[in-house]
């Protein structure tokens, strides 16, 4: 028999149900009643609207009292029988957040040797089951969980459940779905199951925080950005754990040219903070076959769990936890802090995410037309302003700081996250560690959100945050490529982008500007020069990359260097190589052998910056009073006027020459060359000769 009618029932307010009908048979009045749970008698409903247009009909019913979530709700009609009622719009009803915001700190699996408690926030659900399997057992056991306050389902199991695999089975709108735990802190391969672990068993991995220098300001920080796989995968080293957390910390490793590799190479550079591209669990690399598909990791899956493709044994849920913690510990012991790149603006795919499986429609922003917001370009902006989304983000950040002891967060597309959320992250993190750093991409990408967002236009609301400075990036790229229309913007950028110098300030002070010319999703500067300066040979392009990189370290603000920038690496003219594989992304040890002198020179600039107090100054007034900047024949000259900031020197001058000819300057007082990216000739009678395509520092 042909089915000529389609019908759906949906809760559209706490006390109202809408039924949508499509039928090609004549329409007549539809009487309906409400079935609640196991009640035998239905609850009569009041018809308040009956609209028809051709084959379409919309019918609305008034409930005698507001619905209370947590029950099975079905619509009964004599003509059509029993229909499930879709309650997935309830998160948008007035009062939902007030009724269901849970403030407890015990979501997920909370373990002790005597018992483990499981809690999951699922306010729309009519029933939730825990599906759990003991180690070395083939069968799962199903337990019904108890609904508690604020839409939390809970279950306590007595006994030692260390190492147990578990999942949740959730019934929303009479449809069952099986999923992992959004608060899971341990996982099996590819996030299919969550695991209970005794996290106290990892306490023997020392944090080595005593070895970390304290930082008073973001301007004390020097960031080096890298990716776990990219740093360790090369076949030109004897690193054993290639592409793994453990590969990052193998000591004594060498390249096939005999140069330090991996950990020894990184610790030789002198930077203060290693920023790692996402190390939490992400979606698009098969953890069982990590060489099959490449990705940087900007596709979040599990916010509390380390990425399994970086573990030596992904089948053991302890492996990724222990090895991630060991990696951070080893860098701490070497005096290097770890910044974690976090992506709280979207997930990989909302439709298949744990969030939509457990609480449909809650975690993602929607446009006025009802479609998911796509400011991120990934089809699903996280609604960070909603209390339980904000809680999830705050709890994840707290876990990474408290358990793994990361030392900072770099926020991907921070301008999509609301201000209040990142303020609370900063407040909590710095209360625990005053040296903790927070910075991110502050692009103003818009978005239909009433609360202020954490973009650079709202920098005054976020005085403790750094923002990637695209004005600096574009001015530096242009200036060093020979475009002197960029000169004024570059001078403005060098002196912190927070002075009214040639243009209005962008920031409150130098602590808010992250100065850079390339990062993971930009073209490398070598490739920029290859496109813009086809007249240059390889050697001259390397000179400009080095000079521009050194200038970052002499600029007021937060210097940021991208892996491979120190050797003028290329990505073969590709920009966003997030999924293009090792060929485009891995660190080139053969290139390091060819250009090791570049690394040595840049390391001298890093050490100079760390020692020179004036480069850590952030107050715009002090900067304005302490430096004089001018330009001559395309070369920028910066003099430091405040001798108290440059001890043990009395005079200090910096020169930035992007031109293809050397430039002579006559100084008021003879000085010696302290640093230069190219061999510098000695001038006469106090003159200094700045080589072509170089950054030079003189002092006395």
- Which pLDDT score is estimated for 78? 83
Between β-strands 146-147 and 141-144, what pairing exists: parallel, antiparallel or unpaired?
Answer: unpaired
Express each pLDDT in 325-366 by its tens digit: 999 999 999 999 999 999 999 999 998 899 999 999 999 999
Could you tell me the end-to-end alpha-carbon distance of the chain, in angstroms, rounded to an integer?
97
CA angle 227, 231, 235 (to 5 degrees): 140
CB contact at 8 A, 189 and 287: yes
For the chain, what is the radius of gyration of the CA atoms? 30
List of domains in the chain: 5-87 (2.60.40.2320), 619-699 (2.60.40.1180)
| pLDDT attached to residue 448 | 77
Q: Mind telling me the catalytic residues?
A: 412, 441
Percent helix, strand, coil in the chain, to 5, is 30, 25, 45
pLDDT of residue 1: 34
Token pair 């719009």 is at which residue?
89
The answer to whether the peptide bond before residue 648 is cis (omega within 30 degrees of 0) is yes
CB distance 126 to 71 below 8 Å: yes
Low-confidence residues in the chain, pLDDT < 70 = 1-3, 26-27, 683-685
In whole angstroms, give the CA distance from residue 59 to residue 47.
8
Task: Write down the pLDDT at residue 23.
Answer: 82
From the list 172, 67, 76, the residue with the least C-alpha distance to 126 is 172
Residue 91: what pLDDT? Answer: 97
Q: Encode pLDDT of 172-219 as tens digits.
A: 999 999 999 999 999 999 999 999 999 999 999 999 999 999 999 999
pLDDT of residue 681: 77
Give the burial string for 88-125 (b: 16+ CB within 10 Å, else e).
bbbbebeebeebbbbeeeebbbebeeeebebbbbbbbb
How deeply is 17 buried, as exposed, middle or buried, from its count of CB atoms within 10 A (0-12, 13-18, 19+)? buried
Residues 630, 620: Cα–Cα separation, whole Å: 18
Q: Burial level of 242, CB count in 10 A (0-12/13-18/19+)?
A: buried
Nearest C-alpha neighbor of 133 from the set 171, 109, 161: 161
């Amino acid at each position: 028999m042909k089915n000529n009618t389609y019908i759906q029932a949906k809760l559209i307010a706490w006390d109202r149900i809408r039924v949508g009908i499509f039928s090609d048979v004549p329409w007549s009045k539809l009487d309906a009643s409400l079935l609640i749970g196991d009640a035998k008698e239905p609850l009569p409903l009041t018809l308040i609207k009956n609209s028809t247009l051709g084959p379409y009909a919309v019918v609305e019913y008034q409930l005698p009292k507001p619905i209370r979530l947590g029950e099975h709700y079905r619509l009964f009609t004599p003509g059509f029988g029993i229909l499930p009622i879709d309650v997935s719009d309830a998160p948008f009803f007035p009062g939902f957040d007030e009724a269901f915001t849970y403030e407890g700190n015990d979501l997920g699996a909370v373990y002790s040797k005597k018992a483990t408690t499981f809690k999951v926030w699922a306010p729309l659900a009519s029933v939730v089951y825990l599906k759990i399997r003991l180690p070395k057992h083939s069968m799962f056991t199903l337990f019904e969980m108890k609904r508690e306050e604020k839409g939390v389902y809970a279950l306590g199991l007595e006994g030692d459940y260390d190492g147990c695999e578990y999942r949740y089975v959730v019934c929303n709108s009479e449809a069952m779905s099986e999923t992992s735990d959004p608060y899971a802190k341990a996982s099996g391969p590819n996030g299919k199951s969550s695991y209970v672990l005794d996290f106290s068993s990892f306490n023997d991995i020392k944090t080595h925080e005593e070895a970390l220098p304290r930082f008073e300001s973001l301007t004390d920080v020097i960031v080096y950005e890298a990716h776990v796989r990219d740093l360790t995968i090369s076949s030109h080293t004897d690193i054993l754990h290639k592409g793994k957390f453990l590969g990052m910390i193998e000591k004594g490793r060498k390249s096939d040219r005999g140069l330090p590799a991996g950990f020894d190479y990184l610790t030789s550079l002198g930077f203060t903070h290693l920023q790692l591209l996402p190390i939490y669990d992400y979606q698009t690399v098969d953890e069982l076959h990590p060489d099959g598909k490449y990705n940087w990791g900007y596709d979040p899956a599990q916010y509390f769990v380390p990425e399994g493709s970086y573990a030596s044994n992904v089948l053991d849920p302890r492996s990724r936890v222990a090895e991630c913690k060991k990696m951070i510990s080893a860098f701490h012991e070497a005096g290097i802090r770890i910044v974690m790149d976090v992506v709280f603006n979207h997930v990989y795919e909302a439709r298949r995410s744990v969030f939509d499986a457990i609480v449909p429609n809650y975690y993602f922003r929607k446009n006025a037309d009802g479609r998911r917001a796509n400011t991120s370009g990934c089809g699903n902006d996280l609604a960070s302003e909603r209390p339980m989304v904000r809680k999830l983000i705050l709890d994840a950040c707290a876990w990474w700081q408290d358990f793994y002891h990361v030392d900072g967060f770099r926020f991907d597309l921070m301008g999509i996250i609301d201000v209040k959320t990142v303020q609370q992250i900063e407040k909590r993190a710095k209360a625990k560690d005053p040296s903790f750093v927070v910075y991110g991409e502050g692009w103003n990408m818009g978005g239909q959100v009433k609360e202020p967002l954490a973009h650079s236009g709202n920098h005054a609301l976020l005085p403790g945050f750094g923002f990637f400075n695209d004005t600096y990036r574009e001015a530096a790229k242009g200036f060093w490529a020979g475009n002197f229309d960029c000169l004024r913007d570059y001078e403005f950028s060098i002196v912190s982008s927070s002075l009214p110098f040639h243009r209005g300030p962008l920031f409150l002070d130098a602590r808010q500007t992250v100065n850079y010319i390339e990062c993971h999703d930009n073209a490398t500067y070598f490739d920029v020069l290859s496109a813009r300066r086809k007249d240059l040979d390889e050697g001259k392009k390397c000179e400009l990359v080095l000079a521009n990189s050194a200038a970052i370290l002499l600029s007021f603000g937060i210097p940021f260097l991208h892996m491979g920038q120190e050797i003028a690496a290329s990505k073969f003219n590709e920009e966003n190589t997030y999924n293009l594989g090792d060929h485009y992304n891995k660190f080139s040890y053969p290139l390091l052998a060819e250009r090791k002198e570049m690394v040595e020179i840049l390391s001298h600039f890093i050490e100079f910056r760390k020692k020179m107090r004036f480069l850590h100054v952030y107050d715009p007034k002090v900067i304005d009073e302490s430096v004089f900047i001018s330009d001559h024949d395309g070369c920028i000259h910066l003099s430091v006027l405040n001798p108290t900031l440059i001890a043990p020197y009395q005079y200090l001058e910096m020169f930035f020459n992007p031109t293809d000819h050397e430039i002579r300057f006559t100084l008021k007082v003879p000085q010696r060359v302290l640093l230069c990216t190219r061999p510098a000739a000695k001038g006469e009678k106090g003159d200094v000769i700045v080589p072509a395509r170089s950054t030079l520092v003189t002092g006395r």
